[in-house]
Amino acid sequence: MATYSDDWARSKDRIAGQVRGLLDEAETLLRSSAGHAGDELAVARERLHDQLARARTIYGDAQDRASQTYREASAQADAYVHDNPWRAIGIAAAVGVVIGLLATRR
């Protein structure tokens, strides 16, 4: 079963690949438009447009997945705190003490 970190890593790699592809297409467009006009430029622009559309779709999907994961994590944290209020208070106090100790060291 895939974990959240596995899904995140795959999404991150996919987005990075799309960004690299977008940059490659932009460079191709710039090179081809320097000395040519007409059909070559139109083809390069169309490829760049397609890459941008794919990147937007992937970004939107990743954003939706991140929102869903956040909602799920929030619901689980809420359920845990309601089921274990004293444990949650103890953890919060311990974190506060650690932050206080770290703050006084500076």
Beta-carbon contacts of 65 under 8 Å, excluding residues fewer than 6 positions away, are: 7, 11
How far is residue 30's CA from residue 45's CA, in Å, rounded to a whole number? 10
Residue 78 sits at the vertex; the CA angle it makes with 74 and 81, to the nearest 5 degrees, is 140
pLDDT band at 99 (very low <50, low <70, confident <90, very high): very high
Tens of pLDDT, residues 37-69: 677 767 777 787 787 778 778 877 887 888 898
pLDDT band at 94 (very low <50, low <70, confident <90, very high): very high
Residues in the chain: 106
Phi and psi (nearest 5°) for 94? -65, -40
Is residue 2 within 8 Å of residue 32, measured between CB atoms? no
Q: Global pTM?
A: 0.48
Q: Is 1's pLDDT higher than 60?
A: no
